Amino acid sequence: MLQRQLESAWGVLIPGGIVAALLCLDLTFSQWRGLIVLGLLATTGMLYHKRLRHFVLLPSCVAVASGLALVMMNLEAMK
């Protein structure tokens, strides 16, 4: 049972680590938007692929986490 719970966590842990690494690169606003669009397009493409369908959470989670990082960057800029 614990192994089953850990398998589902990888879909969130790996993209979270990717976004944490991207935060260190200090990307611009337009680069973050491009990353979000690429994640959403990759998600759509992976939905129709027979083998990659099982990993569809990876790019969509990167897109969501990137969007959250972008919102946080905007909030800091408004201060």
Global pTM reads 0.69
The CA-atom distances, in angstroms, between 63 and each of 3, 4, 29, 60 are 26, 25, 14, 5
Q: Is 42 strand, coil or helix?
A: helix
Q: 54-63 pLDDT, tens per residue?
A: 777 778 888 8
Q: 19-69 pLDDT, tens per residue?
A: 888 888 888 888 888 888 988 898 888 888 888 777 777 788 888 888 888
Alpha-carbon distance of 49 to 46, in angstroms, equals 5
